[in-house]
Amino acid sequence: MLHRDRVLIVDDEFIIAQTLCVYVEDLGLTVCGTAASADEAVALAVDQRPFIVLMDMRLQGDRDGVDASQEIHERVGSKVVFITGSREPATLARIEGDHPSAVLFKPISEGQLVAVIRRLLEEDPGA
């Protein structure tokens, strides 16, 4: 079972991860962890079972955000929102191939993130 009040943040840039934490907590949700690599992200998702994962594309290590997202989808079923600075067609094609719940482009505002999170919570009220 997923925990509707939990959000996992995956970004290898500390300042961005901390900013996202503030945005999530301002909504009254719990940040169940932050990860800088795909392996950390998967381990935290399996352990914490967050409803939403905020995922950067570029991560530390050999695997990227799509690699992590695919494994999280298979093992946990969380909704993944990609937050990326890349607009490269090949990168966007990989992201879209994973069927994310949303894609936001950096820099994002708190309002953009809040709107996406609220939409996801409203679309699946029974989760």
Give the start-to-end residue ranges of the domains of the chain: 3-123
Q: Compute the distance between CA of residue 97 and CA of residue 23 in angstroms, rounded to an integer.
A: 27
Strand order in the sheet with 102-105: 30-35, 3-10, 50-55, 79-84, 102-105
pLDDT tens sequence across 6-17: 999 999 999 999
How big is the chain, counted in residues?
127
Residue 126: pLDDT over 80: no
Classify 31 as helix, strand or coil: strand
Classify residue 32 as left (phi > 0), alpha (psi -120 to 50) or beta. Answer: alpha
Residue 52: pLDDT over 80: yes
pLDDT tens sequence across 66-120: 999 999 999 999 999 999 999 999 999 999 999 999 999 999 999 999 999 999 9
> How does the average pLDDT of the chain come out, rounded?
95
Nearest CA to 9 among 63, 50, 47? 50
Residue 127: pLDDT over 70: no
pTM across the whole model: 0.95
**pLDDT at site 124:** 79
**pLDDT at site 1:** 86
Work out the burial of residue 21: count CB atoms within 10 Å of its CB; fewer than 13 is exposed, 13-18 middle, 19 or more buried.
middle
**pLDDT at site 76:** 97
Domain 3-123 CATH class label:
alpha beta
